[in-house]
Each structure stands twice: as structure tokens, then as C-alpha cells.
Amino acid sequence: MLASIAHSVPPRSYGPWEQVASTLAEGLVARGHDVTLFATADSTTSARLHAEAPAGYEEESDVDAKVYEALHIAAAFERADEFDVISNQFDFLPLVFSRLVRTPVVTTIHGFSSERIVPVYRAYDDVAHYVSISDSDRHPSLSYAATIHHGIELDRFTVGPGDGGYLLFLGRIHPDKGTATAIDVARRAGRPLVIAGVVHDEDYFRREVQPHVDGSAVSYVGPVGPAERDRLLGGAAALLHLIDFDEPFGLSVVESLATGTPVVATPRGSMPELLSDGVTGFLVHGVAEAVRAVERVGELDRATCRREAETRFSAERMVVDYERLFAEITRPVE
């Protein structure tokens, strides 16, 4: 299992790729598989840990990303003959090693940061086994072995009453994620907004978010760990996920459902795959529709939201899907 080394595995707060790698590794170990996790030295896992980087380069400034990514990837491929399959949860860079080993490489594409990286995926399309994390994120020029939605450890999330009286924004603070739009919607709906997440665009935060933070109408609580995420999600009337890009997945969306909290989202990217409009949330176009949706969230059944998470987005379902794919790829050709 080749994880990203931007953060530890699992991440202490933000780190969706690292969280997926952790959930998958732990699930495979629990099902009796011998798993080696390539991650940072401060990672925690029941798998065998191989570490080159002492910590995540987003967390420790003296960890050089290029240096340790090179060592990290090389270490996994130098040991390739020890493994039946390499699960690449890293990104496109490990693909350049894939023709040099006999071990099949299954690459989960967590999204395309830019069209400029697609040529790398295309160059290895004939030998790679690509997994999309939503049907909406499939690139038309690539071949895919499967679509596997992310799963979460449901026992880390409890169904909350949603009686905190606030709306919640949970995610990285960036124009793509619609933080300022969430502030506008909450203001128009007359609801307090709690913002939780790491700042990914400092200028945007200072210009569009910080001036509204007063600790009452708008509160900013920073990045939050698992226990605080559960508490904030469970107490919220709704999660506002008013994205302005085609998001390949959205872990915070399914985490919200796991706590019984409906989601008001823009119908871009994977959102129509993850949410059932009028059942587990509302898919809205524009601020006015979002405000009307906020007024209606009390009509939605929180137990139904939780059941949807249990049925479609459990860690167990994700692990079984990958297990099935790995078995298919490694099956001897008759």
C-alpha cells in the first residue's frame, strides 16, 4: 500500500488521501491479508510499516517533498517482488516505475489536479489498472478497471440530533470549496455558521472569510480531528457543501450522512452520485435555492441519512470491492 506522504497515515486532521489509504490498509489486515504500508514514520497502522520520510511534508517544514517522495516511491518498487499487488494511493508519479516490475500496480485516481497530468496516466494506460473514485471523475481518454467509492469507518461516527442550531462548513478553505458562499447562505437563512478546516488559500481566507468571523454568526474553529468532526457534524442542522468545481468525491459529505446530517450541495462532480436529492440532502443551483433548501432540511429523516452511509459508504464495502479487484487482477491466466 503506497500512501501519500503529505500527512501521516491516518491524518491527524486534514488528509483525505491518507485517510483512504489507512482505512483500506486496516480493513485488508482485518480480513487476513499481509499488508505493507509505505507511509511516514509517524504513521500508525496494524500493517507492516515501511517509512522513508520521518513525517508529512505538509506538517514538518524540514521534510523536503521531492527528496522524500523519490525515496518513498523507490522503496516500494525496489521491494515489488515481495508483493502480489501494489495499491498506489499516491498519485501519478509511481506509474513511471510500473513497466520496470512484474507486480501489477493498481492506481486509485483521487482526482486530476490539472489536465496537465493526464499525459502520464495516458502513457501507462496499457499496463495500469486504474480505479476511479466516482463515475463522474472518469477521464474519457483512460481505461478503468473499476469505480470504487470511498468508504469510512462508521463506528467513528454517531448519529447526532442536529440540534446545535448551526450550519456547518467542513473542508479546506479555498474558492473551489465555496466557503464564502456558505457564509452568504447562512446569513440569508438566519443561521449561525461554523467553519472547520485547513486554510488552503490564505488570500481568499483573509479577503472573503476572516472579515465575517465574529464568533457568533460565523465561527472558525480550524482543522478538527475525528472526535471533533463527529461532534460538529452530529450537532449541525445541515452541512453546506456549495462547491465550485467538479469534485471527484467528498469524504465530508459521506461523514455527514454517517452522523445523520443532511447535505446541501451544488450538483457538480460526484455530488449527484453521493446524494439523493430530497432524501439525504438537496442539490441546489445558486444561493437562493440553497437558502430555501436550508429552510427545508428539517423535513429530511436523519436515520435515512445514516442508513445510506451504512449501505453505500462503509469501510467494509470499500475494502471488499478492492479485495475483489485485487483478486481478479492477480488471478493466473488460464
Report the candidate in 331, 153, 158, 139 with the shortest Cα–Cα distance to residue 233. Answer: 158
pTM for the full predicted model: 0.94
Asked which of 13-17, 141-145, 237-241, 312-316 is least confident by mean pLDDT, the reply is 13-17
Q: Is the pLDDT of residue 333 over 70?
A: no
- CATH of region 16-151+314-330, choose from 3.90.1150.10, 1.20.1370.10, 1.25.40.390, 3.40.50.2000: 3.40.50.2000
In this model, does residue 257 exceed pLDDT 90? yes
**Least confident stretch, 107-111, 222-226, 288-292:** 222-226
For position 331, what pLDDT does the model report?
A: 87
Q: In the chain, what percentage of residues exceed pLDDT 90?
A: 96
CA distance 60 to 7: 9
Instruction: Please name which of 223, 229, 163 lies closest in space to residue 199, comparing C-alpha atoms.
Output: 223
Query: Looking at the domain covering 158-312, what would its CATH class be?
Result: alpha beta
DSSP 145: S
Q: By the 8 A CB rule, do 169 and 194 touch? A: yes
Location of each CATH 3.40.50.2000 domain in the chain? 16-151+314-330, 158-312
pLDDT at position 13, please?
Answer: 81
Q: Can you tell me the distance from the alpha carbon of 155 to that of 258, in angstroms, rounded to the nearest whole number?
A: 9
Q: Scanning the structure block, which residue is given the C-alpha cell 435515512?
A: 304
- 29 and 19 in contact (C-beta within 8 Å)? no
pLDDT digits (tens, 9 = 90+) for 170-210: 999 999 999 999 999 999 999 999 999 999 999 999 999 99
